[in-house]
Structure formats: structure tokens, C-alpha cells
Amino acid sequence: MRVLSYLPLNGAWKMPPKVPGEHAPKPFLAIPPNKKLFIRGAFTLIELLLVIAIVAILLSMLLPAIGKAKSRAHVAQCANNLAQLALALTMYADDSEDEFPPRSVEPSWIELLKPYYVKASVLKCPTANDLETRTYILNGFNDWFEQNLNPFCYEDYKEWQWPHGLRVSAVENPSDTITFGEKFPGSPHVHMDFFQRSGNDLEEIAHARHPIGFLRGGSNHAFVDSSVRYLPYGRSINPVNL
């Protein structure tokens, strides 16, 4: 039987010459005496625990950053929806003698603005669950109507009978006057005011719809000038004209 020979001069393995009539067997690897064969064993328990600890530390560092990035993406998409609604509101006022939709139930602003926003998906924040069809709420401007309508007309307003909406030209600070806000999940309200069912602005508006990390967060709001801003928690309860 032939075996591989190790030539120490050049470190090569060489097969000896074949003997006539001999069948060629499979070569047998011979380990030279000055060479040691090293076989790596499996991971030890300490090594496995060390790897697990390192992975856990990395995850604890990455998960908050991933969560913040996801929250900010939701804020951006929500703001885009509100921007489309704000544009629809402006287009409606342009076609309605400078008036916003009246404070009514049937039809509400949702139906009146439909020709301008078209897709119903803009009515819903990406953070909403599947059961919610709308997460935005329109300013009822009840403070302005209370100051500018006589008592009889104001009673009609509170009973959803006043046929006119707020005139855009009546707003003194369009960049600081809120038109749309975000409502609490499950709230059926369509307007921000003090006269719809038993709720009010503080109880129906979601002031922290978008928490950022461990912070309390805030919510998106659209304004009369069609701008959209993210207001931290509590900043939306004292606008120029809610």
C-alpha cells in the first residue's frame, strides 16, 4: 500500500511511484511526526453566555432608536394626512363664499369635504386600530360664534341649526388658529367644542397621540393657513382661537 510522503524541504505531499499491476488505492493521509492535528471543540457555556449578554446589550441599545424612528414616521404620515385635509378645507372655503363647513351633523364636514380629499384614508392616523375609521376632529369655533352671534342665533348654532360656517377672513391669526386636531380613540365627536354630547375640548382631543420614546409626546394639528405642526402635550389647549 502506498502512502503520501511529506517532503520537509518544500512542505509538499508526494505520492510514491505506482508499482506495475497494483490497483490504485485511496491515498492515506499520514501526519508527519513534527506536525500536530488540532481539532476545535464546541463553545463552552461561558462563551455562550457571553455572546448572549452582548446580543442583549446591543438590542437594548437599538430597540429604543428603532421605536423612535417608527414613531417619527407615523408623525410624518399623520401630518401628511392633515395637510391634505387642511387643503381640502381651504378649497371648500374658496367654493363656498369664504366659509368653512357649517357646524352640522348631516351632512358633517366629513361628507362636505369629500369631493376635495377623495380618499377616506386621509381621515385616519396610521397609529389608529382597524376599528377606527376617523381620528381627526374639526374646530367648531364655538368661542367665536358665542361672541359674534346674537343669543337666538347662538342657540341655533348649539343645536346644529346655524347654516353658516366661520368665514376665513374673520380669522385674525390664521397661522395660530387650529382647524383640525386629533381625537381620542373611540370618540364619536366630529367637532372640537363644548356642546357636542357630554364631552369638551380637553376630554375629546388626544393631546399625546404620538409619544416619542419615553416622553409624553404630542399630537399633530392643522391651522387656518393650511400649515401643520406637531404640538407637544398641553400646547394645544391655549391657541389663539381654538
Q: For every one of its 242 residues, what pLDDT tens digit does the chain have, with 9 covering 90 and above? A: 544 444 554 555 555 555 555 555 555 555 555 555 555 566 687 878 888 888 888 877 766 666 666 667 888 899 999 999 999 999 999 999 999 999 888 899 999 999 999 889 999 998 888 888 999 999 988 888 988 999 999 999 888 889 999 999 999 889 889 999 998 888 888 888 766 555 455 677 887 778 765 557 888 999 999 999 988 876 665 554 44
Parallel, antiparallel, or unpaired for β 178-182 and 136-139? antiparallel
Residues 6+ away with beta carbon under 8 Å from 55: none
Assign 3-class secondary structure to 37-79.
CCCCCCCCHHHHHHHHHHHHHHHHHHHHHHHHHHHHHHHHHHH
